[in-house]
Amino acid sequence: MARDEQHAAPPLAVPRPRARATLVRARALGRLARDAALAPVYRAYAARLRSAVLAHPVPQHVAVIMDGNRRWARELGLRGIRSGHRHGAARAIDVLDWCAALGIREVTLWALSLENLERSADEVEAITEIARETLEALADRDRAHRLQMSLQVIGRRDLLPPRLREAAERGENETRGRPGLRVVLALGYSGRDELVEAARAAVRSLLAEGTPPEALADALDAGRLADQLYTRGSSDPDLIIRTSGEVRLSGFLPWQSAYSEFYFCDAYWPAFREIDFLRAIRTYQQRARRFGR
Ligand code: IPE
Ligand code: IPE
Ligand code: MG
């Protein structure tokens, strides 16, 4: 045997792909079973956490990158493209209740990016249908006074499938001016696209005011640009939460997040629990925000 081979470490016992999938599934099912068994304990813990969190100022505006729907479904061995997104949508509605219970004023939920519209036609179709049903469920809850809220959809609505665009418009019209939670749903949203469109709109508005072309560059300032963002007139997010263990923004609110606090959490979005949410808020309360001062 060659010398190198004699001293080589024994090969790691890497499970074969099929065995690995079974192991991953067993672990995911184990987590589900543990969560179900511990539900009463979680409820008591959530109540304790909620009162601890309510003893301090809560963020006014929370934004969430709801990520990990497909991995959640895949690990559980669920077939089909819908199940992860369907469970994710149900979780989004829960989050609104959790926010309302804390007196948070505004929630921005990123449900679909512009890039996500490039996924397979089947997946885009499934997400469209689920998002449309979710918008209708939200309007129903508002009608039934279960959760008073006003809804705004941000993103490239001109590129959304027509049924989703119509549901977004209906939801906005039905809830316009309502008191209560302000819910912003980002659909077909990309931060780079928002910035490019805002710069174009700002230049157009300067030209319409009669600014000579040679003075355009100097006339464009932060205020002018911010006035053309989807979020004009609303507050920047105090806290941005991303689930699924990814530590990146993927283009979410690049302008508005300049002084946001970030919280990254390993749970896949459909498995995000109220205690995970309350821990994010508690972590936010422990941060020192300085805004450059
Ligand atoms: C987030 O989950 C929902 C959308 C982006 C539409 P994903 O679909 O990105 O699921 P993962 O991150 O691949 O698990
Ligand atoms: C970001 O998640 C978009 C949403 C959660 C809606 P992605 O899954 O699309 O982002 P990447 O591809 O992991 O960066
Ligand atoms: Mg993802």
Q: Does pLDDT of 286 surpass 80?
A: yes
Task: Band the pLDDT of 12: cuts 50, 70, 90.
Answer: low
d(CA 82, CA 78): 9
Give the ligand whose atoms come closest to the C-alpha of residue 190: 2
Diameter over CA atoms, the chain: 84
Of 241, 248, 230, whose CA–CA distance to 65 is shortest? Answer: 241
% of the chain surpassing 70 pLDDT = 95
d(CA 245, CA 259): 22
**Does the CB atom of residue 246 touch ligand 2 within 6 A?**
yes
> What is the model's pLDDT at position 14?
64
Q: Which residues surround ligand 3, an ion (CB under 5 A)?
A: 67
Looking at the domain that runs over 18-285, which CATH code has it been given? 3.40.1180.10
Query: For the chain, which residues make up each domain, given as ranges?
Result: 18-285
Active site residue 116: yes
Average pLDDT over residues 260-280: 98
Span 17-29, pLDDT tens digits? 788 889 999 999 9
Which residue lies with its CA nearest to atom 10 of ligand 2? Answer: 250
Q: Residue 149 corresponds to which amino acid?
A: M
Give distance in angstroms: CA of 212 to centre of ligand 2: 41
Which residue lies with its CA nearest to atom 1 of ligand 1? Answer: 67
Around Cβ 200, how many Cβ atoms within 10 Å?
11
Rg (the chain; Cα; Å): 22
Which of 4, 35, 94, 116 is flagged as catalytic? 116
> What is the model's pLDDT at position 21?
87
> What is the model's pLDDT at position 6?
55
Task: Band the pLDDT of 7: cuts 50, 70, 90.
Answer: low
Where do the H-state alpha helices sit in 118-271? Answer: 121-143, 162-175, 191-208, 216-219, 222-226
Active site residue 140: no
Span 122-170, pLDDT tens digits? 999 999 999 999 999 998 887 877 888 999 999 999 999 999 999 999 9
- Residue 164: both structure tokens together: 């989703």
- Are 149 and 175 a contacting pair, CB within 8 Å? yes
Q: Does pLDDT of 86 surpass 60?
A: yes
Q: Does pLDDT of 5 surpass 60?
A: no
Kindly list the protein residues whose Cβ atom lies closer than 6 A to any atom of ligand 1.
66-71, 112, 116, 127, 244
